């Protein structure tokens, strides 16, 4: 590597920031430079490479094909350099922002995140619970926890929980019909969120047809977390993921009458940009959450 000729670091920093923001002006604001200075540094880099890295339009810049290939490698290099510097200092500090699906936040993460915070007191951990997918290129987010199937281009992903599902209800509601002994008993009770395809999948696996059109309509509650609260309140039966409600099941707030679960491949995933895989705070969180979830299911 000692014989490799590299462009000036200032030019590479300007390119990385401009590629990340999609703007010379915003890159300048981050780096404490004028827009003209950013443009000049990138021109130096383009001259060294021998081809444009951005298409320049009024009020907008976009990466060329070469720029698109170059940007991830540059981001990864800066991330590795930052990680190496932080490791050398032996500390993790600053804000650590987790964007998380509301259901996962309410059902598991808020009960356990203080454990991670206690292990890393120099980090300021911040949760953002939202159904919206975090945009890593424009938002100050370190990692996200997403419900879905993936993959998501440009992101590393680690499966945290398989979102298998089974009917749940409150013990009090089950008692109103003398208990739930067989799946057909559930059909005598209000079924919440009947538009959820999980109903068809679970009952279809045991050859029972659920005719949603013949049942009284119920409000669509959306997130699984809202459904779980309605179930605990005795509103009806819902399809829920057992791994997310172990506390409520053990406390008797929720009742899972059957061991049978089904899946459609959906899960909750830890995701973050590929170039940040070696960042110490991301690595620490990844190791902590995967171990915590493994310990829970033992």
Which residue would you say has higher pLDDT here, 279 or 64? Answer: 64
| Rounded Cα gap, residues 67 and 266, in angstroms | 34
Average pLDDT, the chain: 87
Determine how many CB atoms are found less than 10 A away from the CB of residue 115: 11
C-beta of residue 232 within 8 angstroms of C-beta of residue 254: yes
Tokens 């021998």 sit on residue:
50
Q: What is the DSSP string of 227-267?
A: HHHHHHTTS-BEEE-GGG-HHHHHTTSSB------B--S-E
Q: Residue 155: name the closest of 268, 285, 277 by CA.
A: 277
* pTM, entire model: 0.66
**Residue 141, pLDDT above cutoff 60:** yes
The encoded tokens of residue 178 equal: 């003398």
The encoded tokens of residue 58 equal: 């009024």
C-beta of residue 160 within 8 angstroms of C-beta of residue 268: yes
Under the banding of pLDDT at 50, 70 and 90, the label for residue 168 is very high
**Residue 298, pLDDT above cutoff 60:** no
Determine the pLDDT at residue 59: 79
Tokens 């923001």 sit on residue:
21
Which residue would you say has higher pLDDT here, 298 or 109? Answer: 109
What mean pLDDT is predicted for residues 54-64?
A: 89
What mean pLDDT is predicted for residues 212-228?
A: 73
Which residues lie closer than 8 Å to 94 by C-beta, 6 or more apart?
Answer: 123, 124, 281
What mean pLDDT is predicted for residues 140-161?
A: 89
Q: Do 9-88 and 91-163+266-297 come out as alike in CATH topology?
A: no
- Sign of the C-alpha dihedral, residues 231, 237, 240, 244? positive
**Residue 102, pLDDT above cutoff 90:** no
Superfamily of segment(s) 166-250: Periplasmic binding protein-like II (3.40.190.10)
Q: Residue 120: name the closest of 98, 145, 144 by CA.
A: 98
For residue range 246-261, list pLDDT tens digits in order: 889 999 999 999 999 9
**Domain 9-88, CATH:** 1.10.10.10
CATH top-level class for 91-163+266-297?
alpha beta
Determine the pLDDT at residue 150: 79
Terminal Cα-to-Cα distance of the chain (whole angstroms): 47
Residue ranges per structural domain of the chain: 9-88, 91-163+266-297, 166-250
Compute the residue count for the chain. 298
Q: Residue 240: name the closest of 213, 206, 294, 202 by CA.
A: 202
| Rounded Cα gap, residues 225 and 102, in angstroms | 7
What mean pLDDT is predicted for residues 12-22?
A: 93
Determine the pLDDT at residue 187: 92
Omega within 30 of 0 (cis) for the link into 219: no
With a pLDDT cut of 90, the percent of the chain lying above it is 55
Alpha helices in the chain (DSSP H): 9-21, 24-31, 35-49, 65-89, 102-104, 110-119, 171-175, 183-186, 197-204, 224-232, 246-250, 280-297
What mean pLDDT is predicted for residues 154-159?
A: 91
Alpha helices in 171-234 (DSSP H): 171-175, 183-186, 197-204, 224-232
With a pLDDT cut of 70, the percent of the chain lying above it is 91
| Rounded Cα gap, residues 45 and 89, in angstroms | 31
Determine the pLDDT at residue 1: 47
Kindly provide the b/e burial profile for residues 151-170, where b requires at least 16 CB atoms within 10 angstroms of the residue's own CB. eeeebbbeebbebbbbbbbb
Determine the pLDDT at residue 225: 84
Which residue would you say has higher pLDDT here, 212 or 275? Answer: 275
| Rounded Cα gap, residues 202 and 167, in angstroms | 8
Which residue would you say has higher pLDDT here, 1 or 162? Answer: 162
């Amino acid at each position: 590597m000692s014989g490799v000729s590299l462009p000036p670091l200032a030019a590479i920093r300007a390119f990385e920031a401009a590629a990340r923001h999609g703007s010379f002006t915003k890159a300048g604001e981050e780096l404490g430079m004028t827009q003209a200075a950013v443009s000049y540094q990138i021109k130096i880099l383009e001259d060294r490479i021998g081809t444009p890295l951005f298409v320049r339009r009024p009020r907008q810049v976009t990466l060329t094909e070469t720029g698109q290939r170059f940007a991830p490698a540059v981001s990864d290099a800066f991330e590795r350099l930052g990680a190496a510097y932080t490791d050398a200092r032996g500390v993790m500090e600053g804000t650590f922002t987790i964007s998380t699906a509301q259901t996962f936040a309410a059902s598991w993460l808020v009960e356990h995140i203080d454990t991670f915070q206690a292990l890393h007191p120099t980090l300021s951990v911040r949760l953002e619970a939202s159904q919206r997918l975090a945009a890593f290129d424009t938002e100050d987010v370190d990692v996200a926890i997403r419900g879905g199937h993936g993959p998501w281009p440009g992101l590393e992903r680690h499966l945290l929980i398989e979102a298998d599902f089974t009917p749940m209800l409150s013990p009090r509601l089950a008692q109103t019909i003398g208990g739930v002994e067989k799946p057909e008993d559930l059909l005598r009770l209000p079924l919440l969120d009947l538009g959820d395809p999980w109903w068809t999948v679970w009952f279809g696996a045991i050859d029972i047809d659920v005719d949603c059109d013949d049942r009284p309509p119920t409000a669509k509650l959306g997130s699984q977390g809202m459904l779980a609260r309605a179930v605990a309140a005795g509103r009806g039966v819902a399809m829920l993921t057992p791994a997310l409600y172990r506390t409520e099941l053990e406390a008797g707030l929720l009742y899972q009458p059957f061991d049978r679960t089904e899946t459609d491949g959906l899960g909750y995933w830890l995701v973050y940009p590929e170039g940040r895989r070696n960042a110490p705070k991301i690595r620490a969180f990844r190791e902590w959450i995967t171990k915590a979830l493994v310990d829970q299911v033992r």
